[in-house]
Structure 1
């Protein structure tokens, strides 16, 4: 793990795999850095930079006290500090909440390009009814943190239902360690529920927006809305790929990313 400070004094920590132009990989949800393990071999020509998001194993301005209003800006500042700390103009590749963070960071950071798989943005109608953070909070207050995290997994990773969630969780590499992240996931969800997509996202770099047909319908809708709000972007939809696209189909996604970056 490399630990360094940006020019404005923010300490950043990250793993680096390989050499070349920096490719910053930003995980989403409860995923650990290891989420990107199957992805990294498909980008051997780059220096893969894998940070731990603030609050998910590292700190920035006391994540335990950070409010929903502040959490997205906190993480965007962290990514901007990381951009300042690495050598060369990087490419940002984010998944879910990491994709939203990448896009927000790119509004005020010198990056060559951004790739976002299903940015964690809620359509307006869906956002008005969203209550996952409240439901998780109630379960945590009742002393059932494990059940709170299960509700997140159920709604975000398996929105179309699953026959045996407990059996799936037993095979999930980050379960049950991710239960320790319950409070941070609640704060993240509140930030998502409060975030309103502007008519225009002020990102100068080209952006590749990716989505899959087997994930939540609202995220496919939001991927199109994010694409429409960007001044220069491309939208690609993968048939049969879920919200876990980068880890689920790394060869398929990396081929599309390579083609985009080659242009």
Structure 2
């Protein structure tokens, strides 16, 4: 599926979000919500691989270009409200997919409105990453994007030196990570300051939770996944073989096939 249009939507408070639409712009379809250190561009290959719906709308959440700033009133609830604006624009959206932080946003949105289907890949929730908040704040105050990427890569994602150096060896990839790291501290602080919900996705007809095989039962993503799973009254759990948290980058076609296979009308 090819990208056909980009839309800009006002979300109030002096900010805005953009969405990139693949397929038929006015047809109901799938809405994709990326997480931290990610944007709509990073999900283009997954969107291109998805064909179970006539359209795929990928969100550029606030805080990443060309969307607007987080603003001083930013919170996890801000993200849920922004997503509500997007879903109102995408009238008749049939399914919602979120990754990581975006997965939690999607599941919380299904507390506030009825949704036919919600899918979440390794959603995270409090107390995810709380131990690095002081260092992320120091890096933000120093405007040190290099340090922010290092903290997220090593101390949250658990990448070793060789893996981090492999990322750094690709100047374009490293520059993209630096650009995307701007909201990292504020987003992680918002995630950890929100009271943990007793239940998520309670108004969704169907919930599909996805975890990469490499992260099953291991911190931080597998254990946070388990925390979320306990808060979903009913959900099917699916495992993506051979993958970890970055399946949208390392295996976008495989992830796209899995999403296609989960389409509720198939």
TM-score bucket (shorter structure):
0.7 to 0.9
8 A contact 1:213–1:220 mirrored in 2:
no
1:223 offset after TM fit, Å?
A: 1.5
CA displacement, residues 82-112 of structure 1 (integer Å, 9 cap, x when unaligned):
1011131331111111111111112113322
Aligned residue in 1 for 2:167 = 168
Q: Which consecutive residues of structure 1, in runs of 5 or more, have no partner in the other structure?
A: none
Q: Is the helix fraction higher in 1 or 2?
A: 1
Aligned residue in 2 for 1:56 = 64
Matches within 5 A, 1:1-263: 1-4=6-9, 12-19=17-24, 20-46=27-53, 47-57=55-65, 58-59=67-68, 63-66=70-73, 70-122=74-126, 127=127, 130-142=130-142, 144-157=144-157, 159=158, 161-163=160-162, 165-171=164-170, 173-205=172-204, 206-215=206-215, 217-262=219-264
In structure 2, what is the Cα distance between the partners aligned to 1:89 and 1:164? Answer: 38
CA displacement, residues 182-222 of structure 1 (integer Å, 9 cap, x when unaligned):
44110011122234433322522111111113246232122
CA displacement, residues 219-252 of structure 1 (integer Å, 9 cap, x when unaligned):
2122223222112211122342111123322333
Cα separation, partners in 2 of 1:107 and 1:164, compared to 1, 3 Å: closer
- TM-score, normalised to structure 1, is 0.83
In structure 2, what is the Cα distance between the partners aligned to 1:172 and 1:83? Answer: 36
Cα separation, partners in 2 of 1:236 and 1:132, compared to 1, 3 Å: same
In structure 1, what is the Cα distance between the partners aligned to 2:238 and 2:161? Answer: 26
Tell me the SS of whatever aligns to 2:211: strand
Q: Which consecutive residues of structure 2, in runs of 5 or more, have no partner in the other structure?
A: 1-5
Across the aligned residues of Structure 1 and Structure 2, the Cα RMSD in angstroms comes to 2.8
Instruction: Identify the range of structure 1 (47-56 vs 246-255) with the bigger mean alpha-carbon deviation.
Output: 246-255
